[in-house]
Structure 1
Amino acid sequence: MTPCRVVTWNLWWRFGDWARRFEVIAAVLAEAAPDVVGLQEVWARGSGVDSVNAAGLLAKRLGMHWAWVPSPAPERWQRKLDDASAFGNAVLSRWPVAGVAHADLPAPSSGAPDGRRVLLAALDTPAGRLPFFTTQLSAFPGRSALRCAQVRRIAEFVAAHTPDAGLPPVVTGDLNAVPESDEVRLMEGFLTEPAVPDLLLVDAWRYAAPDDRGITWSRGNPHAAVTGEPDARIDYVLVGTPRAGGAALVESARVVGDRPRDGIWPSDHAAVVADLQLGAPVFVGPGAA
């Protein structure tokens, strides 16, 4: 089996003191020592040889490969800060990125488009090719129906890009929804019919310490407190169930980036770290010793 440490983190784009926040984000990730990272709200500026991408900067610091996809509709975010930077999702990986794909998610029926996407990075791990996904669902508490529609699109995309043989998918992201919500239950497929038949995703937090609530959106964080929303776990590492061709078994989960350093909070979200074991599963039949 191959150890695989996965992190998911919403980096809060270029809000707040983003330059100092970036340094704290880089330090937290270096200490966490992940093998794979799913990132949301990642900024990029410029084009061609003059372009700068936060994911690329982090990858260089951490000695990792990276992939990124911009939002097709970043205007709502850009207007908030009068900032023309791009906005998107990214993957960092200790292992080579063998392929990249993405899909657009359903948008609100009224108002400004969200520009949400799901990103796939196919990773060549020692245990085989890992289909690794990261995404961000629409925000606002009243948009459960939209998030359910987005989950269905993500599930279709995950199923279409997960080969029948090999490692199961790992899906990361800011789902903007609590574990008991319709959209998260639909994504997992255990407490309700899965969005795609037989696509079951285990919430890695089930393997965390029993007394740890796993809060990633906290009133203790001043960037989150201003919204008036209660403490919640809205960021996830979801892992496909074992198959004959391979497994990604969850060993533990924890939260990092949930406190300030030198007075600087790294993001409005905390990050989730999940330790997995990748490889061929061992199926023990009835009566085996």
Structure 2
Amino acid sequence: MRILTWNLWGRYGPWERRQEAIAATLAEVDPDVCGFQEVWGTRGRNLAADLAERLGLYWCWAIAAQSGRGDDDGDLFNGNAVLSRWPIAAQNEVRLPTDDPGEGRVAVAARIDAPGGVLPMVTTHLTFRPGGSQVRLPQVRQLASFVAEEAADCAYPPVVTGDLNAEPDSDELRLLGGLLTAPTVPGLVLLDAWRYADPGDPGFTWDRRNGYQADTMIPDSRIDYILVGLARQGRGRVRSARLAGTAPVDGVWPSDHFAVVADLRN
């Protein structure tokens, strides 16, 4: 089972050409389940719907916030989405707390009818702010409670993906991992799939190698994650992890983030 997470950068930059590069990258990686962040949608169009149609996948989407006007399509919204090779039996969402009334954050969950049973898949995008751990920690606590509820009585462990805007040794990841401190929800242990990657690869998903990051003041960072609960009867065990979307497609970088890909035991 191949899982991918990717921040798709909304409608920034050459977004129409980027959409083609995103679709081409996904076709090459061939994921079974995707978690996307910064997915734009308008009254008449939706990036998740377009990608799902191209790739022959099921999809669901949750709005995080309105982000402007969408040209001829009216209001432009930003959100998170799940795409799946297998049917999505149910979806749910939860708002995450912020200290900014103008900021919207959401986690979206999909219960996927995978070959071995129900896979609980959650994706989210936490607050971006250097030094903003005090904002993200309440978001993580809300997220963990939501994940635990969605993962109850499922054949697979929960898979949580997203742009968490936090480094691997941050309090945010420690609370979700439950390995270096008590987990937010007793018994909910989410393993960082990157621990199964090439140990020589730092896994930076925010990287100055990216053509859109030439002027960034943020250092190279690993802030995008695939987190997996403890395997259930072998299902969901992480086999490997790697990056994707790390090069231009026909001269266009797909996103300002690199994607993370993990292969799990089905």
Whether TM-score is above 0.5 comes out as yes
Percent identity between the two aligned chains: 54
Q: 2:18 corresponds to which residue?
A: 21
Does the alignment pair 1:130 with 2:126?
A: no
Residue of structure 2 equivalent to 1:36? 33
Q: 2:243 aligns with which of 242, 247, 255?
A: 255
- TM-score, length basis structure 2: 0.95
Which residue of the partner structure matches residue 166 of structure 2? 177
Amino acid at match of 1:259: A
| Aligned with 1:107 (options 91, 98, 107) | 98
Q: 1:216 aligns with which of 172, 190, 205?
A: 205
Q: Is the 8 A contact 1:11 1:40 kept in 2?
A: yes
Write the deviation string for residues 204-223 of structure 1: whole angstroms up to 9, x where unpaired: 00000111111100012232
Unaligned 5+ runs, structure 1: 279-289
AA of the residue aligned to 2:107: V
How far the C-alpha of 1:165 sits from its partner, in A, is 5.1
Structure 1 length as normaliser, TM-score? Answer: 0.87
Q: Distance in 2 between matches of 1:205 and 1:161?
A: 23
Q: Report what 1:282 is aligned to.
A: none
Counterpart AA for 1:228: M
Given that residues 64 and 93 in structure 1 are in contact (C-alpha distance below 8 angstroms), is that contact kept between their aligned partners in structure 2? yes
Q: Distance in 2 between matches of 1:239 and 1:20?
A: 33
User: C-alpha distance in 2, partners of 1:145/1:130?
Assistant: 31
Q: Distance in 2 between matches of 1:151 and 1:242?
A: 22
Task: Quote the residue 1:45 is aligned against.
Answer: 42
Distance between the aligned counterparts of 1:185 and 1:216, measured in 2?
Answer: 19
Matches within 5 A, 1:117-266: 117-164=106-153, 166-243=155-232, 247-266=235-254
1:16–1:157 CA distance, 2 compared to 1 (3 A) = same
Deviation, structure 1 residue 185? 1.2
Structure 1 Cα separation of the partners of residues 109 and 154 of structure 2: 17
Is the counterpart of residue 87 in structure 1 residue 78 in structure 2?
yes
Q: Deviations over 1:5-41 (max 9, x none)?
A: 0000000000000000000000000000000000000
Report what 1:275 is aligned to. Answer: 263
234-243 or 256-265: bigger deviation: 256-265
Larger Rg: 1
Q: Tell me, what secondary structure is at the counterpart of 1:57?
A: helix
CA distance in 2, matches of 1:102, 1:163: 16
Partner of 1:223: helix, strand, or coil?
A: coil
> Matched residue of 1:222: which SS?
coil
Distance in structure 2 (CA, Å) of the matches to 1:21 and 1:112: 30
Deviations 1:32-74 (A, max 9, x none): 000000000001111xxxx211000000110100011111x32
Preserved contact between residue 117 and residue 154 of structure 2 (Cα < 8 Å)? no
Moved over 4 A (4+): none
Quote how far apart the aligned CAs of 1:164 are.
3.5
The aligned amino acid for 2:58 is H
Other structure's SS at 1:233 match: coil
